[in-house]
Structure 1
């Protein structure tokens, strides 16, 4: 099995994450199963089934949506963050229409570069206006209150190499590490990706190879960072590592 250097991620914790631990966590997130007692018309007495423990199959493996914002975007976001009530659905759907042009402008500004390939100035208030960071902050303002995570998830799924997937759990972990001049929480993600470029490059290559070999989809290093941070912030990292191993 290939190896890589440890990952120094202050948002995850004070100690470096060993590379093999990170790989096991990602594989556990993607492949892990949990037992669920299930009743159906065909089996009214009930039976045990094994379902995905995390959101990889419901979210990451869904085909990307192309074209204007649509209901499919909301369905994909629900696969990660749960079902919406009718009012929440309508709010997220409307927010997608409003944020769509802003996300398009971010892609134009990035000019084909992935998030981790952007220069630090793109995530600094010192070089605004017009930066990627300013665009991401503008998108965040369209988040429909408590359903903001659904909006961000939908936009990330469309551009998994450019739009960071910052949600409730990861937001709380990133906030203490914001520095003066950062355009937002995304600047912390960018800084950690740059500082661990070699490790994330190796993790991206190996994890994606293993996942696609079993019919899965590859994960960008931007999504890998989010998975490690979410697992850690939600106290799920040890469980995912055990499943991955």
Structure 2
């Protein structure tokens, strides 16, 4: 995210996301967090038979380079590899389970895209994420998608999000649990909470999306993915670390 490392205009805009906490998140701090997620590194000791004493190398601390900055996959094999880049390697059985799940869910994903009719999740009316309009709504289809993703649902949803970055939320057990307390009567599922957050903060997310897209690393995450990144960093207690890393990178 080199283009937003220095000289990024400072802004007073804020994100009001109850799933992150009761206080609004300034857009400057949100951008620092995303910058840190994209570029922070960690040390790892590497050893090999030819170099038993080992040596230190720096690796990306988070999954940005292995997932967000990767081009769209061509085929299910590549989909699984992308998901592994974000959630870690699968054993042989797990790899086949994710591969099979993507094939099994293809008709459901096609129905979801048809129902959305080219609209992004945040462009959909509230009725599409309400139980009052079911069945066949986007909310009902997303709920079924999450339910039927199988034992490796985070890998499956990561692959589907990468293929449909403006429509399919990427949810894990941790982020899904964080969204549950914010469900309102009539919501079709936790995806409705994400939809409400995106619609209620449309201008701020548009600004954040544009700032991130200005980076030269090829990553163009939608506001749906940026919401996921901020929520995951918060719920896994990594937000402060990412913000500190992003601030240091900005000041370099």
Q: TM-score, normalised by structure 1?
A: 0.94
Give 1:40 deviation, angstroms: 3.4
- Which runs of structure 2 are paired with 1:127-142 in the superposition (5 Å)? 127-142=133-148
Runs ≥4 in structure 1, deviation > 4 angstroms?
none
Residue 44 of structure 2 corresponds to 36
Residue 81 of structure 1 corresponds to 87
Q: Tell me the number of residue pairs that the alignment of Structure 1 and Structure 2 aligns.
A: 239
Residue 179 of structure 1 corresponds to 184
| Cα deviation digits, residues 69-92 of structure 1 (max 9, x gap) | 521111111111111122212221
| Cα deviation digits, residues 171-217 of structure 1 (max 9, x gap) | 111011111111111000000111111110100001111x2x2x231
**Residue 7 (structure 1) aligned with residue 15 (structure 2):** yes
Q: Is the contact between residue 70 and residue 219 of structure 2 (CA under 8 Å) also seen in structure 1?
A: no
Task: Tell me how far apart the structure 2 counterparts of residues 27 and 103 of structure 1 sit (CA, whole Å).
Answer: 31
- Counterpart of 1:196 (choices 192, 198, 201) is 201
Give 1:4 deviation, angstroms: 4.8
SS in structure 1 opposite 2:93? helix
Give 1:41 deviation, angstroms: 5.0
Give 1:45 deviation, angstroms: 2.2
**Aligned CA-pair RMSD:** 1.3
SS in structure 2 opposite 1:192? helix
**Residue 219 (structure 1) aligned with residue 221 (structure 2):** yes
Task: Tell me how far apart the structure 2 counterparts of residues 43 and 32 of structure 1 sit (CA, whole Å).
Answer: 27
Q: Is the contact between residue 4 and residue 199 of structure 1 (CA under 8 Å) also seen in structure 2?
A: no
Residue 115 of structure 1 corresponds to 121
Task: Tell me how far apart the structure 1 counterparts of residues 147 and 31 of structure 2 sit (CA, whole Å).
Answer: 34
Task: Tell me how far apart the structure 1 counterparts of residues 12 and 212 of structure 2 sit (CA, whole Å).
Answer: 12
Q: TM-score, normalised by structure 2?
A: 0.91
**Residue 243 (structure 1) aligned with residue 251 (structure 2):** no
Q: Mind listing any 5+ residue stretches in structure 2 that lack a counterpart?
A: 1-7, 248-252
Task: Tell me how far apart the structure 2 counterparts of residues 59 and 4 of structure 1 sit (CA, whole Å).
Answer: 30
Task: Tell me how far apart the structure 2 counterparts of residues 75 and 23 of structure 1 sit (CA, whole Å).
Answer: 28
| Cα deviation digits, residues 151-183 of structure 1 (max 9, x gap) | 111110101111001112111110111111111
Give 1:110 deviation, angstroms: 1.0
Task: Tell me how far apart the structure 1 counterparts of residues 89 and 236 of structure 2 sit (CA, whole Å).
Answer: 20
Q: Mind listing any 5+ residue stretches in structure 1 that lack a counterpart?
A: none
